[in-house]
């Protein structure tokens, strides 16, 4: 089974690219982030024409997540346990489903904006809710492969940004954010490390300053999973080619292949 995570940075603006990629990569399950559309406005027709059903969680603001599947989706859950609000709203940043015996979550973690900002504190609180949700899943589904995949908006190490000196006093690399990833691992999850098709680890390149062509990237799209999942992994890679060309998202898909029994 082939799984992937991809921040598409507006599914409406990127639908042609999404369908093209589905047809070429042939994933069975795809976690999408940053839909920027309501559930009602999600482009189900072209997704269904490509052979997929979609379960979505979006309100049309700057967030939104979905799971595309051609192997079915059951036990769908929208939102985290105890998820905090920001500006009075519980943002659509998490959706989970069981697809062909694998429990998967599509996550669009808050950016944080800058250390000390209300959104940064919200980000840290959001990760506490994610931990609670993961702990609940581990108890509820002790035998299932579990994976929490998406745009974490955290670079796990200094090597995961193109120049750590450029990120002094910035989000994505602070000790508190990286501690949130450590907390996830202490629950019993392991990061699935993708290979890069060009030797660099990045999954995101800003649109500005020719960042993609200069190699000014970050690795912030991550896959954390339990042992039942990681034991099935046969390959994992960043599909850097999907970041190329006109109308691309600023993120590349991360693809994980599983050898299911």
Domain 2-258 in CATH: superfamily?
A: Endonuclease/exonuclease/phosphatase (3.60.10.10)
Condensed to tens digits (0 to 9), the pLDDT of residues 188-246 reads: 999 999 987 677 889 999 999 999 999 999 999 999 999 999 999 999 999 999 999 99
- Please give the C-alpha separations between residue 156 and each of 89, 120, 189, 231, in angstroms, as whole numbers: 28, 17, 14, 22
Distance, in Å, from the CA atom of 73 to the CA atom of 64, rounded to the nearest integer, reads 18
Q: Structure tokens of 140? A: 């509820």
Where does the pLDDT of residue 256 fall: very low under 50, low under 70, confident under 90, or very high at 90 and above?
very high
Neighbour tally for 180: CB within 10 Å: 19
Where does the pLDDT of residue 169 fall: very low under 50, low under 70, confident under 90, or very high at 90 and above?
confident
Task: Give the three-class secondary structure for 101.
Answer: coil
pTM of the model: 0.97
Give me the residue spans of the domains in the chain.
2-258
Angle, helices 118-140/175-186, rounded to nearest 10 degrees: 10
Q: Which residues contact 87 (CB under 8 A, 6 or more apart)?
A: none
What mean pLDDT comes out for the span 15-44?
98
Candidates 41, 75, 83; CA nearest to 61 is 41
Q: Is 107 a residue whose pLDDT tops 80?
A: yes
What one-character DSSP code corresponds to residue 54?
E
Q: Is 61 a residue whose pLDDT tops 90?
A: no
The rounded percent of the chain whose pLDDT value lies above 90 is 95
Q: Which residues contact 80 (CB under 8 A, 6 or more apart)?
A: 93, 94, 126, 129, 130, 132, 133
Q: Structure tokens of 119? A: 């959104």
What values do phi and psi take at 237, rounded to 5? -155, 160
Neighbour tally for 121: CB within 10 Å: 16
Task: Give the three-class secondary structure for 32.
Answer: strand
Q: Is 60 a residue whose pLDDT tops 80?
A: yes
What mean pLDDT comes out for the span 39-65?
96
Beta bridge partners of 38: 59
């Amino acid at each position: 089974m082939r799984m992937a995570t991809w921040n598409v940075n507006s599914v409406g603006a990127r639908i042609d690219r999404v369908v093209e990629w589905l047809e070429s990569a042939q994933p069975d399950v795809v976690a999408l982030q940053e839909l920027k559309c309501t559930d009602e406005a999600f482009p189900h027709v072209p997704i269904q024409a490509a052979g997929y059903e979609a379960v979505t969680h979006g309100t049309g603001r700057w967030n939104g997540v979905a799971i595309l599947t051609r192997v079915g989706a059951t036990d769908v859950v929208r939102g985290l346990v105890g998820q905090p609000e920001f500006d009075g709203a519980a943002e659509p940043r998490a959706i989970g489903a069981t697809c062909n015996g694998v429990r998967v979550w599509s996550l669009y973690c808050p950016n944080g904006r800058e250390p000390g900002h209300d959104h940064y504190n919200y980000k840290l609180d959001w990760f506490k809710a994610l931990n609670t949700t993961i702990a609940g899943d581990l108890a509820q589904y002790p035998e299932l492969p579990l994976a929490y995949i998406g745009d974490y908006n955290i670079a796990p190490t200094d090597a995961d940004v193109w120049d750590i000196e450029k990120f002094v006093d910035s989000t994505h690399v602070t000790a508190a954010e990286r501690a949130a990833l450590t907390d996830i691992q202490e629950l019993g999850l392991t990061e699935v490390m993708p290979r890069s098709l060009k030797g660099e680890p990045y999954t995101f390149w800003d649109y500005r300053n020719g960042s993609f062509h200069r190699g000014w990237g970050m690795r912030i799209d991550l896959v954390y999973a339990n042992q039942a999942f990681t034991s099935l992994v046969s390959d994992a890679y960043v599909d850097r080619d999907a970041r190329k060309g006109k109308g691309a998202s600023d993120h590349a898909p991360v693809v994980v292949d599983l050898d299911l029994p």
